[in-house]
Structure 1
Amino acid sequence: MATTPTPRTSQRFCASDADLTISSSDNVLFKVHRKHLEVHSDVFADAANATRPENGDEIVYLQESSEVLELLFQFMYRQRQPDLRHVEFPKFMEFAEAVDKYVVYSALSAMESQMRVHITDHPLRVLDFSAIHGHADLGNEAARIAVGLSMSSAAAILSPHTFTKWMAFHDEWHAGAMNAVAEFLSLLRRHSREELSSSLEACVRDPKRWYTERSTLQNYTWANELTFLDIEFMQPTDNDSL
């Protein structure tokens, strides 16, 4: 029979005057001050009565790992905040989930800023997170970066609910792109447009280039040929939390 490892205490969060002990999923104890958690987190504030000292020395067990809680609690104390650029992507995504789960407003801006950095390399992961947690700006940016990815890639990463939305977005976007290509080819037949030809080739090779080439393409076509670039995956009022 496997034995439970002996708990160890976090070196950073081990205050002698702590009035709350939290255990991570990997059995690390965090001795923290409930006032900090209640001020910075809606969830801990709502659970205040359940963690009062008069309830005894009961340990509060959370599902997150010690690495994630170490990051999260730093945003809930008056100190220099951790640099999320040094957090590897898988661990960062766990941290982002915790920020939304516990509604830690002090960490929200830093999390969203670093999430935006990861869009280029992990657009589908960011898209799925954004759709589930209602981050419309991040979701739309990620969707635009991911327009050239295959349905099979999206199906392997996106949750079923998000994938269903993604298929509709993908089909509408690419239908618009095909119509625009047809119009541009008509222009090329009527006129010799080296600049247009170069931009169009770039867009066909890499669909997300439609956004960076848009200003050039608009010089040679009607504005409504490019309206598919304004399609949004999420609306600002979307709240797709499941």
Structure 2
Amino acid sequence: MTTPKTPSVSSKFSFADSDITFKSSDSVLFHVHRKNLDVCTEGFPPAGISTDGSIVELTETSDTLELLFRFVYPERHPGLDTTPFEVLAPLAEAAEKYQVFPAMNICHIRLRDMAEEHPVEVAVYASKHDYPSLICEVAPMMIAMPAETVMEILPAHLVLPWTRYVEEWANVLHSALIPPEGWLASHRDNAKATAFGAYQAPATACSWPYYVIYCLQRLGVGVTSLCSLDDVFDMTTPPANRPTIDDCCQRALVNWRRQIEEAITQIPKFSDFA
């Protein structure tokens, strides 16, 4: 039979005059003052738990609670500037769970800064805790996620707006599947003319059709491809058995990508649909 672990006491939260004690999931005790909780939180102590002198057990680890309780005392609060995501995410969840208002705000700001590296987790957090502006910021990153995953993340009232938002991206993709017509003109500009102004065809076969097919295949995976245009227009691994790409074809590819990027910037924000 396993012997229960003897609880240790937090070195920072061991006030002798405390009137409430919390126990972390890894058996660390936190002796804190109820008045601080009353002023700075709305969810402490958790509803339905007796605080008649007994120890209140919480599901969070001691590392999370150590940070969380610092936000309910009159001291300089943690800036969280260098806090890794693995520490910040559970802190943000605890702040929302217990409504620790000073911590909620800074966690929201820091998670927004980390959205590009952790779009799925931040999207879950934003939708779960009703941060519509953050959902709007993460929305373009969520385009790259499988539709099933997004539907599982979003609350019911945002599913229809999301569908309309994705439709705008689909319209951009539809236009992107039509290569720019100006590539022929670029060929003419690149070709040499005789002294009499007669047009001379390029000496080598045109590589444009090969690269069109190559890019279309990548765009053909769907709207997610619009989030990885570097991959779509990556010519470091070109099609086999194609002519060497010339300057005018390269310019046409650049122009094609530029048109797609410009169209993406014209997509309304997700908040316009919500």
TM-score (ref. length: structure 2): 0.63
Query: CA 1:190 to 1:175, structure 2 compared with 1: closer, same or farther past 3 Å?
Result: farther
Measure how far apart 1:7 and its partner are.
0.4
Question: Per-residue displacement from partner, 1:159-211 (whole Å, max 9, x unpaired)?
Answer: 8253984973674243122134257x45646976xxxxxxxx9xx7973489x
Measure how far apart 1:220 and its partner are.
7.6
Question: Per-residue displacement from partner, 1:75-127 (whole Å, max 9, x unpaired)?
Answer: 11111111313322122111111111111111122111110111111111111
Find 1:207's aligned residue among 226, 240, 243: 226
| Aligned match of 1:102 | 98
| Aligned match of 1:179 | 174
| Aligned match of 1:70 | 66
Query: CA 1:108 to 1:161, structure 2 compared with 1: closer, same or farther past 3 Å?
Result: closer
Find 2:140's aligned residue among 131, 136, 144: 144
Secondary structure of the structure 1 residue equivalent to 2:44:
helix
Query: CA 1:117 to 1:231, structure 2 compared with 1: closer, same or farther past 3 Å?
Result: closer
Indicate the structure (1 or 2) with the bigger Cα radius of gyration. Answer: 2
CA distance in 2, matches of 1:40, 1:71: 14
Query: CA 1:2 to 1:88, structure 2 compared with 1: closer, same or farther past 3 Å?
Result: farther
Structure 1 or 2: more helix by fraction: 1
CA distance in 2, matches of 1:37, 1:27: 21
- Percentage of pairs with the same residue: 28
Query: CA 1:178 to 1:75, structure 2 compared with 1: closer, same or farther past 3 Å?
Result: same
Name the amino acid aligned to 2:146. M
Residues 49 and 56, structure 2, Cα contact 8 Å, conserved in 1 = no
Pair 1:230-2:268 in alignment: yes
Pair 1:59-2:63 in alignment: no
TM-score (ref. length: structure 1): 0.70
| Aligned match of 2:152 | 160
Residues 173 and 231, structure 1, Cα contact 8 Å, conserved in 2 = no
Instruction: Show structure 1 runs of 4+ deviating over 6 A.
Output: none
Residues 131 and 139, structure 1, Cα contact 8 Å, conserved in 2 = yes
Pair 1:17-2:17 in alignment: yes
Residues 169 and 264, structure 2, Cα contact 8 Å, conserved in 1 = no
CA distance in 1, matches of 2:176, 2:138: 23
Measure how far apart 1:146 and its partner are.
3.3
Pair 1:127-2:119 in alignment: no
Question: Per-residue displacement from partner, 1:110-145 (whole Å, max 9, x unpaired)?
Answer: 111110111111111111111111111111111212
Name the amino acid aligned to 2:87. K
Question: Per-residue displacement from partner, 1:6-25 (whole Å, max 9, x unpaired)?
Answer: 00000010111111111111
Residues 120 and 145, structure 1, Cα contact 8 Å, conserved in 2 = yes
* Aligned residue pairs, count: 209
In structure 1, stretches of 5+ residues that fail to align are 193-200, 211-215
CA distance in 2, matches of 1:41, 1:220: 50
Aligned-CA RMSD value: 3.8
Query: CA 1:161 to 1:142, structure 2 compared with 1: closer, same or farther past 3 Å?
Result: closer
